[in-house]
A and B are shown apart, each in its own frame.
Chain A
Amino acid sequence: MEKPLTQHIVPGRAPLSLKEYEKVGGYQSVRKILKEMAPADVQNLVKASDLRGRGGAGFNTGLKWSFVPMGPEAAKPKYLVANADEMEPGTFKDRVLLEGNPHQLIEGMIVAAYAIDASVSYIFMRWAYKVAAREIIKALDEAYAAGYLGENILGSGFSLDMHLHTGVGRYMCGEETALLNALEGKRANPRAKPPFPQVSGLFGKPTIVNNVETLCCLPHIINNGAEWFKGLSKTGDAGTKLYGISGRVKTPGCWELPMGTTIRELIEEHGGGMQDGYLFKGLLPGGASTDFLVEEHLDLPMDYTAIQAAGSRMGTGTMIILDDQTCPVGFVHNLQHFFAQESCGFCTPCREGLPWVEKILLAIDKGEGKPEHLLTLDFHTKYLGPGNTFCALAPGAMEPLQSALKYFREDFERHIHEHHCPWSKAKVWQPSI
């Protein structure tokens, strides 16, 4: 089984130095594009590979690039940004790539920057990834010294600067337009679209923001071709995927596997099955802002298409398991506390609605819920849903809530009728601030 993105990552061992990385074929894709391919060729190849954004939205990467104005008339400088803000609760896949093989990311970023003719690039990384920051700074120095970054790369005439920017903590920074505001030294509020960042992004110039895992796929697509990339998958969605599992399984972790590996295989073979004494109750397939899936979905392939057809989203592909001994109301309450806290406060439904949802869930969890509370929660899932808020934060927050109300409604009702949490008292989620 091919694992292109993680083949050179050994947990507990330092990442490959530039010399070692070159020895295993590193930076070959940069040599290839600079010598043999025009930016349009790179765009077309990536479009043909069906690579879809690994940050969660799943948009075709080559197509996203194609909206960037090209040619001598296009505004300059153009920017490429790697979104390494990984703050989606339950998500830890980009950390593996950042800490494990920083040169692969830099190589992927050079490919992407060349494809859109960008001359400045940023890695926007969350503050918490200290090891990754150290490794990336080291790798950037090596790449500059070897002439893969800077002026006139490998004598091609193409120039690219690359900077690491570490954030100061806010979930909103993962939203691409909010990320651009953060990079500009502003509050990370989302921007109105249009104009899209491809046309008017960082400092008002054409900008592409791609996820770390997406960028890490690029060198391999350049080296091996679109058909090879599609052939890595078990289903119609191309490539491999970094899947992860957290929660009460025996061996939680992160694994690169063919796209379309089933949920059951992920949990049972890679996650080692449920821990003794715990039964599976449900899961969020790709982070906190995805809809619950349950037992009936276990044989679905984890890809964009199948998970969407089941009413959820693959999101980041890192799943969080809900076990039978964890209260589903407490679980959702924890999520809504996070979303309420991280709302930027810019638009009213999100700023006011999410704390309301959180308060109701706390009341239900404490046994103070009323039957009409469920209707208020239902109301919120509708009015904080897509189209009613400025960005995707609140609609994302409503995904686990609406699906919990669908699959675990009886558990909500039991809290209300029995006036206490049927799970152990210690499991009542009580944020202390």
Chain B
Amino acid sequence: MLTTEEKHKIDHEISLVPSPKNACIEALKIVQQSHGWVSDESLKDVADYVGMSPAELDSVATFYNLIFRRPVGRHVILVCDSISCWVMGYESIRDRLYEKLNIKYGQTTEDGRFTILPNCCLGTCDRAPALMIDNDLYRDLTVDQLDEILEKYT
């Protein structure tokens, strides 16, 4: 069930576009913001609300890299795996994260704290390697910095 607050936010997005369907991505973002991901149930709720079939909405939801259709941890680590970060050796960062968190790309730590995902170029190539945790960007990374960075996220 969409909450009153979610409905209110989605209504605002619908008011900005010609047809409610046009606001479906915004609606998915709103639901994901409150739940962390988009469950089948949420997907169906949003589809009903904007007048789409669940299948049609899922074709949109699964198209985009950052609509999560599976549960994620409280914090999502996005590791840039594109060319400049590769040239500058991002793999040591990734491997250290794997080791420290005992998970790999696409997995979530048992305590639900972190999910780690690969991500396309973050647009900060002059300061590679880079990663993002939630809304925070980290760049010029070395493996020694990782402990301190991860500690900020509980």
| A90 and B86 contacting across the interface, CB-CB below 8 Å | no
Q: Contacts of B122 on A, CB cut-off 8 Å?
A: 128
| A252 and B125 contacting across the interface, CB-CB below 8 Å | yes
Q: Contacts of B126 on A, CB cut-off 8 Å?
A: 92, 244-246, 252-254
The answer to whether the Cβ of B60 comes within 8 Å of any Cβ in the partner chain is yes
Q: Which 3 A-B pairs have the closest CB atoms?
A: A246-B125, A169-B65, A252-B126
| A334 and B83 contacting across the interface, CB-CB below 8 Å | yes
Report the interface size class on chain B: 35 or more
* A51-59, A67-75, A318-326 - interface stretch: A318-326
A320 to B84, CA, bound (A): 7
Number of residue pairs spanning A and B whose beta carbons lie under 8 angstroms apart: 136
| B135 and A130 contacting across the interface, CB-CB below 8 Å | yes
Q: Which of A87, A128, A322, A338 has most chain B Cβ within 10 Å?
A: A128
Of B65, B67, B121, the residue contacting A89 (CB under 8 A) is: B121
List residues of chain B with CB under 8 Å of any chain A CB: 16-18, 21-26, 28-29, 59-60, 63-67, 81-84, 86-88, 91, 94, 104-106, 118-128, 132, 135-137
Of B23, B91, B106, B124, the residue contacting A185 (CB under 8 A) is: B23
| A338 and B83 contacting across the interface, CB-CB below 8 Å | yes
A-B contact pairs, 26 of them (CB 8 A): A87-B123, A89-B83, A94-B123, A126-B123, A127-B66, A128-B122, A130-B136, A168-B65, A168-B66, A169-B120, A185-B22, A185-B23, A185-B24, A203-B17, A244-B126, A288-B83, A318-B125, A320-B84, A330-B86, A337-B81, A338-B82, A342-B120, A431-B81, A431-B118, A432-B118, A433-B118
Q: Contacts of A185 on B, CB cut-off 8 Å?
A: 17, 21-26, 60
The answer to whether the Cβ of A383 comes within 8 Å of any Cβ in the partner chain is no
| B87 and A426 contacting across the interface, CB-CB below 8 Å | no
Q: Contacts of A182 on B, CB cut-off 8 Å?
A: 25
A417 to B71, CA, bound (A): 46
Q: Which residue of A lies closest to B136 (CB)?
A: A130
| A244 and B22 contacting across the interface, CB-CB below 8 Å | no
